[in-house]
Amino acid sequence: MKQRTIAGNWVSEIGLGCMNLSHAYGTPPSEQDGISLLEKALDLGVTHFDTAALYGFGKNEELVGKLLKSHRDRIFLASKCGMRGVDGKRVIDGRPETLRATIEQSLLSLQTDVIDLYYLHRWDKNVPIEESVGELSRMVEEGKIKSIGLSEVSAKTLRAAHLVHPIAALQTEYSLWTRNPEIACLDTCKELGTAFVAFSPLARGFLSGDITDPNGFVDKDIRKGMPRFQPENIRKNLKLIEQMRNVANELDCTLSQLSLAWLLHQGPHVLPIPGTTKTTHLQDNIRASAIKLNDLQIKKLDTVFEHKNISGSRYPAATQNEIDTEEF
């Protein structure tokens, strides 16, 4: 696996988003199957593992902690605070006292005394970003975390936070069909020396080409409520997949590999963290590190997936109001 840097640490250029193992896409795999997938990722060269207090309302951190216990020195560990489960509901809370309580619980769940990269999962707009980041900076001073990240914020907010403490990474959704980071965040991250961590780099599975039934999502799958995954939009967006398949055939690779390779070509500071529950998909994703695209292939993909060609917004209105990212 090739390497890229976050906060001065060399990590696998393709990481693993661990959310799928406990959260969001229907019934998660068993604990043993989840641990087996994490161990396989480590065996295949993945060193960057990303979790959060929210995922599975704590269960995902506990799962990752069981892998960490024996392999801590081999893993770059990222987790998140500022959004968690309270009484069965997702709550955004960036108050310093809440962040403090969350880090203490996360350290216990993860079975470690330090987290390499700790993100503010969502900016609580009722709390100045400087106040939340200020509390995270005190955690750095205390040795509980090594570096600070932000998730789903704008370039403006990133700059404001960076004045309080260096921001090691900005994490937001980025893929061929979600190009919002290109408005400002990608360039700002490059300027500030901030890594850009791309979550949902396969568009929540859509860019794999496996989603063909507009009505095929199971209960508790968050995609059922997302505009882009509504039947009328899925049917329109599937036409883009067919154009993408031509480029994949040229390179003799899968659609997932092509999607990840395209992201890796967007700059050395871009690190995708695809998630999966299947070992076959994990192996497929990791092989994307070896794929090289030429300028013509990149241009073709850019043209096919221009924002104006995408049907449906990425979040429902209520969720969209919670985030701070630039929008087309």
The reply to whether 86 falls in a domain is yes
- For residue 53, give the nearest of 114, 5, 99 by alpha carbon: 99
**End-to-end Cα distance, the chain:** 34
**Exposure b/e, 210-219, CB count within 10 A at least 16 = b:** ebeeeeebee
Q: Flag whether 59 is in a domain.
A: yes
pLDDT score recorded for residue 88: 86
Radius of gyration of the chain (CA): 19
Closest by alpha carbon to 178, among 249, 262, 299?
262
Q: To 10 degrees, the CA torsion angle through 302, 268, 204, 229?
A: -30
Domain assignment of residue 109, yes or no: yes
Domain of residue 49, residue span: 3-205+257-290
Would residue 308 count as lying in a domain? no
Per run of 10 residues, the mean pLDDT along the chain (length 328 residues) is 96 98 92 96 98 96 95 97 93 98 98 98 98 98 98 98 98 97 98 98 96 88 94 94 96 98 98 97 97 97 97 95 95
Which pLDDT value is given to residue 120? 98
- Would residue 232 count as lying in a domain? no
Q: What is the pLDDT of residue 24?
A: 87
Q: Is 199 strand, coil or helix?
A: strand
Q: 3-6 and 9-12 as β-strands: parallel, antiparallel, unpaired?
A: antiparallel
The CATH number of the domain where 101 resides is what? Answer: 3.20.20.100
229 phi, psi to nearest 5 deg: -100, 10
Q: What are phi and psi of 171, to 5 degrees?
A: -115, 125
Residues 6+ apart with CB under 8 A from 211: 205, 229, 234
Residue 12 domain flag: yes
Residue 97 confidence (pLDDT): 98
The helix/strand/coil state of 117 is strand
Residue 228 lies in a domain: no
Positions marked active-site = 55
- How many domains does one find in the chain? 1
At 223 the pLDDT is 94
Does the CA dihedral 98-67-208-214 come out positive or negative?
negative
Nearest Cα neighbor of 28 from 74, 4, 60, 51 is: 60
Q: Considering the entire predicted model, what is its pTM?
A: 0.97
Domain membership of residue 320 (yes or no) is: no
